[in-house]
Amino acid sequence: MKSNLCVLLILCLFLGACDKDPHVEEETAATDCLVQQVIRYHTSQQSGQPLGRTKHVFSYDNQHRVTQMVSTSMESSTADYEAITTYRYDSKGRVAEIKLTSTYDGPGNETIISFEYNEQGQLVLRRHFSAIVNCPTIEVIRVEYTYGAANEPDSAAFYSMRPWKGPELFHNLSYKYTYANGVMTRVKTYPIDPEFQFLPYEDDIRYDKGKAPFSASPAQLALMLEYDVDILALNLPQLHNITSVTRWSEDGQLHRAYDLQYTFSDKGYPLTVRQKYSQGSYVEDNFEYTYTCSK
């Protein structure tokens, strides 16, 4: 559950996204809506029953930036679960740090994510740390971004620690991003470490022209650069909603494909999202959104 939550942040964040440069912030229009609550759950293709329901409640500052997310389980078997995620911003209004604590981590233990920017205001480094009481803080993940001529993230390198090999970070994967009309339409994943035995693959992504859930919270743009389609493909840099993802391996084999089905509010924001695979037996993600609107 913890890994899923981390992606949801960096995603729920990971949920909304943006077709603009990740360092650009805009004035929010008077009619924009802010997500107040997200209920996330899974369904299996066999039963269709909701599983693992979790509620996420958001708080904002007066600049429409998320300051806190409180996540609680809606299942009786995990009713004691609560995670609190806090967001800190730098003097230029950019996300500088995220901290996650939960009842499952133990008192005082934290997951910390830091963000570093270059002189152009582009996010160039994201680092994940594990902070455990009475133990040294350890860097467990690092992601480095490079940018192309269009001032859009061009590629990324993913490093992670292997506890059985000590504190060293290993370059596991690299990502290459392709854009069309300002939105990310393709992500190619390359295995770098010899322990990752698979062919490179590409994810083709399609969008609608509607508003994504978090598109009215501009400071979240930096959080949308973690691409993890296996967990959720809603954390891409875009302002619109992803409608389908198709994954092809380098040898032309279709790995998986799914659609994302939406219902919308009268102001054009998604109320529900359902992930639907076209083949195979997968657990599918579902989301329900509640908003507060200025008008």
CATH number (domain holding residue 75): 2.40.160.190
Identify whether 222 is part of a domain: yes
Spacing of C-alpha 99 from chain mean position: 15
Nearest to 206 by CA among 237, 239, 246: 246
Nearest to 5 by CA among 187, 212, 228: 228
Name residues whose C-beta falls within 8 Å of residue 84's C-beta, 6 or more positions apart in sequence: 68, 69, 70, 71, 100, 101, 102
Identify whether 158 is part of a domain: yes
Identify whether 8 is part of a domain: no
Query: What are the pLDDT tens digits along the chain (295 aa)?
Result: 444 433 333 333 333 333 333 433 334 444 589 999 999 998 987 777 888 899 999 999 988 888 999 999 998 887 788 999 899 999 998 889 999 998 887 777 899 999 999 999 888 999 999 998 888 899 999 999 999 877 788 899 999 998 778 889 999 999 999 988 878 889 999 999 888 888 999 999 999 988 888 888 765 555 554 444 344 444 455 678 889 999 999 999 999 899 999 999 999 999 999 989 887 778 888 999 999 998 6
When divided into structural domains, the chain yields a total of: 1
Identify whether 4 is part of a domain: no
Question: Torsion angle of alpha carbons 95, 208, 247, 261, nearest 10°?
Answer: 100
Identify whether 20 is part of a domain: no
Range of the domain at 250: 35-293
AA letter at 177: Y
